[in-house]
Amino acid sequence: MAATAIPVDTLPSINPASGEVVGHFERTLPGRLAEIVSRARAAQNAWAKVEIRERCAKLRALRERMMASREELADAVVRESGKPRVEALFADIFVALDTAEYFSRNAERLLKAESVPHHSIAAKAKSGRLLYEPLGVIGIISSWNYPLAIPLSQIIPAVVAGNAVVCKTSDFTPQCGALIEKLFTVAGFPADLVRVVQGGGEVGQALIDAAPDKVLFTGSVVTGRRVAEACAKKLIPSVLELGGKDAMIVLSDADLDVASSAAVWGSYTNCGQVCLSVERLFVEQTIAEEFIALCVEKTKKLRLGPGKDSSSDVGPLIRPQHVARMSELIHDAVSRGAKVLCGGSARPDFGPNFFEPTVISGVDSSMKLFQEETFGPILAIQTVRDAEEAVAHANDSPFALAASVWTSDTARGEAIAKRLRAGAVMINDAISYFAIAEAPHGGSGASGWGRTHGKAGLLEMVQTKYMDSDRLEHREKPWWYRYGADLERAADAFLQFEFGGGLAAKMRNARGAMKTFFRDHGF
């Protein structure tokens, strides 16, 4: 039997657990992006006129569609990302549903015009307001590790704020991308308002070339730099989420059983392919031996396997090159004095992309494991003298996305959290703030700039306009022409009245200051 011909302009959907190609999806030709963005802009012009209450109602319809489709969505996430199904339900489906729920209930309040009180006497006759207006077309270039949660947590606030979206989902997860566009279509959103384009870097570049009004990018530092440069050439504002090297600090008074379970889950969930995963763990010396032993014991109990198997705890990495990178990072660390306590090897007997969950101790900043984002199932531990040393090491990184502090003393944990250079710090938990709809997500330095999620993320999707109405519409303003010596004296008297000191100074200069308001302009 002749083999079925595969169209050239398609993307393969590959199951990372088996390496099997499970489907093909149409690749978007880069030359089509200008037209797609243009059509999105036309759709947005009409959508921006829709009352925000009605937009919120559409989000509720979207949420209902996602809930009804959750089995199909979870299947696609497991098939294309490899993660265990329970992680697909918690980390992808829940986050997407809760994002729609949160903004459907709160967007109208969050985007309501705000009064701006004026403290200065010179502006007391004015009424100021802040208006939040849609930007236009938002370009989103998303990631494969959470193929529903990441793009949907950005698309949803963009559209409820009145924008259109053109989203390039990852070429590793084309089925998830196709399902996202289908969700908005079935939920009744206008045609062309939310478009998903499929392909690699060339499609992302074409999207920027088509000049959307803002670009949101999630991915590596290397690609993020290219995105920032391409946007800068066109003066397109951007939000960049470029990953992290998140620190976990375990203090001597922490509950070691709970903290060790958190370290194991925080390092290996989604096979460590998480921007918020625990990548640098600092534990105080007095409890290090006991804590590390617990981490090793719990890691050895984890079950490696395909995500479709409900007994699997840790699934595969996304592609073979990621497996090779884990071996390279471990080899570098061991050559510099680190010690592998368990794991540390690829497992081709499970499939082409499996790697054992690994605990490695004696890691320090000279090693790639503490310099570069790992994005894999490696729990790297450094023993420190005390909390001061832990904070110093935690802040010694170009990344600044998130961190966690583990202690029985909440006040002490919060005090340490304030000293950590990170966009978010959790005390006695890790990673889960990403699933809190109100919590902003983002970092600084090599972790990027801007925020997604919550009110901060919603405000990234709008143009803030200040509107001012003058209540003395029939009076010329004192600072207008005609200039002269009288106005100079009056202006100086006004400055002394406003800023010159106590009550006596105000009384001395009150009469002169009033001349700025009551004078003959002579025009």
Mean pLDDT score, 169-198: 98
pLDDT of 517 over the 70 cut: no
Cα–Cα distance between 16 and 319 in angstroms, integer? Answer: 6
Predicted pLDDT at 500: 83
Predicted pLDDT at 523: 60
85 within a domain of the structure (yes/no): yes
pLDDT of 6 over the 60 cut: no
For this structure, is 167 an active site residue? no
Cβ–Cβ < 8 Å for 440, 454: yes
- Of residues 134 and 126, more confidence is placed in 134
Whether residue 178 sits in one domain with residue 59: yes
The domain that holds 109 is classified in CATH as: 3.40.605.10
Predicted pLDDT at 230: 98
25 within a domain of the structure (yes/no): no
Q: Which amino acid is at 253?
A: D
Cα–Cα distance between 480 and 319 in angstroms, integer? Answer: 67
71 within a domain of the structure (yes/no): yes
Cβ–Cβ < 8 Å for 497, 510: yes
Diameter of the chain measured on Cα atoms? 102
Cα–Cα distance between 242 and 442 in angstroms, integer? Answer: 9
Write down which residue in 445, 465, 485 finishes a domain. Answer: 465
Cα–Cα distance between 445 and 452 in angstroms, integer? Answer: 16
For the segment 240-298, what is each residue's pLDDT rounded down to a tens digit?
999 999 999 999 999 999 999 999 999 999 999 999 999 999 999 999 999 999 999 99
Q: Which of 241, 284, 373, 460 is catalytic?
A: 241
Cα–Cα distance between 483 and 15 in angstroms, integer? Answer: 76
Whether residue 207 sits in one domain with residue 58: yes
Burial class for 158, CB neighbours closer than 10 Å (0-12, 13-18, 19+): buried
138 within a domain of the structure (yes/no): yes
Cα–Cα distance between 339 and 351 in angstroms, integer? Answer: 26
Cα–Cα distance between 335 and 260 in angstroms, integer? Answer: 26
Predicted pLDDT at 496: 84
73 within a domain of the structure (yes/no): yes
Whether residue 348 sits in one domain with residue 205: no
Write down which residue in 424, 445, 465 finishes a domain. Answer: 465
3-state helix, strand, coil in the chain (%, to 5): 45, 20, 35
Taken as a whole, the chain contains a residue count of 523
Predicted pLDDT at 2: 44
DSSP letter at 355 equals B
141 CB-near residues (< 8 Å, 6+ apart): 167, 168, 204, 207, 215, 216, 217, 218, 219, 227
Whether residue 399 sits in one domain with residue 261: yes
For the segment 14-70, what is each residue's pLDDT rounded down to a tens digit?
999 999 999 999 999 999 999 999 999 999 999 999 999 999 999 999 999 999 999
Whether residue 202 sits in one domain with residue 335: no
Q: Which residue has the tokens 């200039």?
A: 483
- DSSP H helical segments within 119-190, as ranges? 149-160, 174-186
Point out which residues pair with 248 in neighbouring strands.
281, 404
What DSSP element (H or E) covers 368?
helix 368-371
Mean pLDDT score, 344-372: 97
Cα–Cα distance between 399 and 304 in angstroms, integer? Answer: 30
Q: Which of 167, 231, 275, 295 is catalytic?
A: 275
Of 155-159, 318-322, 507-511, the one with minimum mean pLDDT is 507-511
Whether residue 237 sits in one domain with residue 309: no
- Give the domain range for residue 209: 31-242+456-465
Per-position b or e across 185-224, b if 16+ CB within 10 A of its CB: eebebbebbbbbbbbeeebbbbbbebbbbbbbbbbebebb
Cβ–Cβ < 8 Å for 295, 357: no
The pLDDT mean for the chain works out to: 95
Whether residue 235 sits in one domain with residue 255: no
pLDDT tier for residue 1 given thresholds of 50, 70 and 90: very low
pLDDT of 336 over the 90 cut: yes
pLDDT of 520 over the 60 cut: yes
Specify whether the backbone of 100 is left (phi greater than 0), alpha (psi in -120 to 50) or beta.
Answer: alpha
Cβ–Cβ < 8 Å for 340, 116: no
For the segment 373-393, what is each residue's pLDDT rounded down to a tens digit?
999 999 999 999 999 999 999
412 within a domain of the structure (yes/no): yes
For this structure, is 241 an active site residue? yes
The domain that holds 326 is classified in CATH as: 3.40.309.10
Cα–Cα distance between 489 and 147 in angstroms, integer? Answer: 66
Predicted pLDDT at 7: 54
Q: Which residue has the tokens 């990344």?
A: 399
In order of 359, 391, 394, 416, 441, the CA distances from 250 in angstroms are: 16, 11, 12, 11, 23
Q: Which residue has the tokens 């949420």?
A: 63
Cβ–Cβ < 8 Å for 367, 333: yes
pLDDT tier for residue 119 given thresholds of 50, 70 and 90: confident
Whether residue 301 sits in one domain with residue 276: yes
Whether residue 254 sits in one domain with residue 385: yes
498 within a domain of the structure (yes/no): yes
Whether residue 294 sits in one domain with residue 147: no
Among candidate residues 175, 176, 147, 151, the one with its CA nearest the CA of residue 165: 151
pLDDT of 77 over the 70 cut: yes
pLDDT of 103 over the 70 cut: yes
Angle between helices 70-81 and 52-68 (to 10 degrees): 70
18 within a domain of the structure (yes/no): no
Q: How many domains does the chain have?
A: 3
DSSP 278-317: --EEEEEHHHHHHHHHHHHHHHHTPPB--TTSTT-SB---
What DSSP element (H or E) covers 393?
helix 387-394
Predicted pLDDT at 12: 97
What DSSP element (H or E) covers 405?
strand 402-406
In order of 130, 309, 339, 413, the CA distances from 464 in angstroms are: 7, 48, 53, 36
For the segment 218-228, what is each residue's pLDDT rounded down to a tens digit?
999 999 999 99
Whether residue 228 sits in one domain with residue 320: no
Cβ–Cβ < 8 Å for 251, 405: yes
Whether residue 190 sits in one domain with residue 76: yes
Among candidate residues 30, 275, 47, the one with its CA nearest the CA of residue 158: 47
What DSSP element (H or E) covers 80?
helix 70-81
